[in-house]
Amino acid sequence: MKKKILSIFIAIVMLMPCMALMTACNSGGNTGGNSSIEHTQHTYGSWEHNATQHWRKCTSLGCTAEEREDHKYNGGYTCEVCGYVNENLKPGEPQSMSTYFSGMKTTSTRASVKDADNVTKSFDEVLDRQLDVLAQDILYRLTYVYGYNETSHNRTENAKNTLLNGLSAFNYNGNNAVVDSNKLLATTNNVTELRTVNLKDINDYQKSISIISNMNVLLNSNALDLSGAIEGRNLKLEEGFNVLTLVSTADENKAWNWYSNGNSTYSDFATKANINKMKMAIAQVLTNTTVDGNYTVTAYNNALAKIDALGFSNLDSTKLVKFIKSSVIGDTLVNTDDNYANTISSKYSNTINATSIKAMNNDSSYTTTDSPRLYKGYSMVVPAIVKQALSNTFEGTTQSIYPTMSRYATDYSSNVFTTSTSNFDSIVLAPRANTPATKLVVKIEGTGNNVELTIGCSVNGSNASSNQKKVRLSSSGETIEFDLHNNSTMGVYNGSTDKDTGIDLFANNQSAINSTDGSNYIKLVFTNPNGAMFKVTFTGYYNK
């Protein structure tokens, strides 16, 4: 019995440490892990983490206790407890431009343009010359068709008028710019007689005004007569020898708005004042402003500064035609003439010939001062004049008198993000695929007398004026940043990379319109009123 009691005592003594350990584990769990083994102190391993939390576990055998909590940043981007770096909180850092962009395209104002005479001039000088020549061209065609003395002197043979560049004939490689009466309204074969006219066929009008013959129904006092309209002539019908005859007496109430006392030859009608008014009107059409032809030196020069291309490829000819009809001729005269055209169309099947003229004479609803025989064809002739003038070429050549050229030279460079010094109008950056819209760092260097630039920055055609910076030029340069964040990424650049850097207007390799930017790009637009020269360096692009 004593031996049995002794054995039990020894067993109890041996189990006491384990029981104490289990008691300690049950009372001391740090974060609630239910361990099958009880101990008085945990031994934790290294911190583990995910994007939101960190934790560490007890390394004691069989213990599942752990510590777990959210990351602690205290305004930074690295957790102060576990060292986890949160990339979303980490600020962006400038990266190499070539990481995100494949190149850049620059546009800058051309320093000069080489004209037809091989003399280099400013862009606006050449632009003024083009406007001046076109104004001369249009006014000569108008006076040839509707002038009075011009008709008497020149209609019996082909006439040519040489357009002027200042006081000299305007020519290219020895070929003059002329207005040819055989191509005044259309290019067609001449005829010796024109006894029937289709009211809607401009070729018949061209045939009519080219050669006087025994019978030419648009240039005959016994039929219709377009000539003399500028002075208000031929606006009265009188009967003589039982024939109604158009009387060539000027009526000042029927004269054109631009006519003043004198003859209606080109030299009389195309005065300096009238040429300037026509130039102003053309410039206003090109700048999409009110077309009134009101010329002042300041207004004209301001208009020139807004025109970005030589040549007239983007001229809205309908607006110029409207100006000529309304301002040069007069709305009342044109509206009356349109009514005559409608009458000839509806009553006489668009035909002017002996039969229709006789019918007009016998129609008692007409009077000597109000008859379709007073028709002048303004709505057919004026659009044809503008069209032919715009398509005019140097005599004997196919070279346009008005070749196109942009005000801005365009250049493209691959993976080069520092410019040479120029007077930039804009710079386009060509992004690679999936480029984020983040922050752009730019350095501007230049010299000038207190010159200030305004720089706007846009993404994919957004409004550049809403993101602008001002820079005062200095030799040491100024670094600026544009915040472009728009929560999106850009696609790969899909605009044009064509270059246009030449200055020879007649080299036939220039474009009137800047090359397209596509739909994926970053663009800097410079407002540079003094035409200052400066250098642009893109010093980096933030990765986020």
Residue pLDDT, tens place only, 123-153: 999 999 999 999 999 999 999 999 986 555 4
Mean pLDDT lowest among 34-43, 84-93, 350-359, 364-373: 34-43
- The b-or-e profile of 517-537 (16+ CB within 10 A means b, else e) is bbebbbbbbbebeeebbbbbb
Alpha-carbon distances, residue 187 vs 135, 183, 199, 210, 392 (angstroms): 21, 5, 17, 11, 11
Are 498 and 361 contained in the same domain?
Answer: no
Q: What is the predicted pLDDT for the residue at 216?
A: 83
Residue pLDDT, tens place only, 424-483: 999 999 999 999 999 999 999 998 778 999 999 999 988 888 899 999 999 999 999 999
Q: What is the predicted pLDDT for the residue at 4?
A: 53
Q: What is the CA radius of gyration of the chain?
A: 43
Domain enclosing residue 121, as ranges: 114-390
Are 421 and 360 contained in the same domain?
Answer: no
DSSP letter (8 states) at residue 152: H
Is residue 24's pLDDT more than 50? no
Give backbone dihedrals phi and psi of 171, rounded to 5 degrees, phi first: -145, 165
Are 456 and 417 contained in the same domain?
Answer: yes
Q: What total of structural domains would you count in the chain?
A: 3
**β-strand partners of 75:** none
CB 410 within 8 Å of CB 308: no
Are 413 and 379 contained in the same domain?
Answer: no
Res. 202 pLDDT band, cuts 50 70 90? very high
Q: Cα 387 from chain centroid?
A: 22
Are 120 and 255 contained in the same domain?
Answer: yes
User: Alpha-carbon distance 313 to 321, whole Å?
Assistant: 16
Q: What is the predicted pLDDT for the residue at 28?
A: 41
Global confidence as pTM: 0.80
Are 122 and 254 contained in the same domain?
Answer: yes
DSSP letter (8 states) at residue 531: -
Q: What is the DSSP string of 121-141?
A: E-HHHHHHHHHHHHHHHHHHH
303 versus 33: which is more confidently predicted? 303
Is residue 116's pLDDT more than 80? yes
User: Is 397 a member of any domain?
Assistant: no
Q: Cα 304 from chain centroid?
A: 15
